[in-house]
Structure 1
């Protein structure tokens, strides 16, 4: 009797904002530099104030820059937003859409996809590009508008789609393909990011106490 082979397992697709990651590195680096200097060289209450400010600022910046991500696997969609993580089996996904922001509708609730920001500028450029193609005009793209591939890897002589709309289309396709899979059934779960909220709350309380006590 032959052995039954299990379907191959693939790594999750991961969606993140490169600009948010870059901003996080810049802001946290600046905060650590200034705050660390105040802690090491400050007088009086300055080191304590700087430490409390860092305890508040660094987790909040991390929450909005490093933390947001969307993980799309064979069985479920995991959305990691600044303060919550939403896990939605594909069968529970009702819709994924991109208007002024990307949204997931699952289990009767709507969740923002912070990791997939919508760029109206990119969408407008794609629309104008596609209109030029439809009109038979020479498309602009590549280096100095000379053709080839643009900076997101799309051919200049082919219809173009904004990155956020590409991501949403991929998520919709995964939801449609896997909604009936046995492993893709279940309820939506939501978990608060206490590892982010707790230190930020401690920092905020510390600053409040220092302000009250003058």
Structure 2
């Protein structure tokens, strides 16, 4: 019997899919969660937390970039063909991707800051900006879901659960940013709120990504009714 070796091409490895996007968000969220847990339960020092967050942010950025590529065109023709209107799916992906880039700046500064001023301007400000971008993105997710389904109540859809869990995570990250505000002595305004907000938000992002994994039974059923292009993107 002849064995045929199947090799994945570099192009197929680099091609973004929903599976890859979800896995990268899950890994990034897990790293943020572990880093926050290390601070909450005093398992490791601030250095370990900062490094885990730094690495997790790059997984977020990669996933966010994939999300933008998978979201399709930025605009669609308006009814009547008089112009174009932005697509909520693309806006959600773009604003979330912007947020991940700001988290890159924040987590990098956490490792390299030499002064309180650096922490305020290059760590906390991007952190707050990234958290705000995530909140805006979560709102666009609701808009996109409503445009697709005509309702905001559809608990049989995995994307409905993902949207709500994602919103909870974004709110938690926003609260974390409030707690992480850098005071003049270099300490955080509320370290407990910052750490717990990060931990809860990160867990939510892991769950929001996990629930839409194409390999899960309920998503396989939905994929069977999808178009060939949609199936390929999974």
Normalised to the residue count of structure 1, the TM-score between the two structures is: 0.29
- Write 1 or 2 for the structure with the bigger share of helix: 2
- Write 1 or 2 for the structure with the bigger share of strand: 1
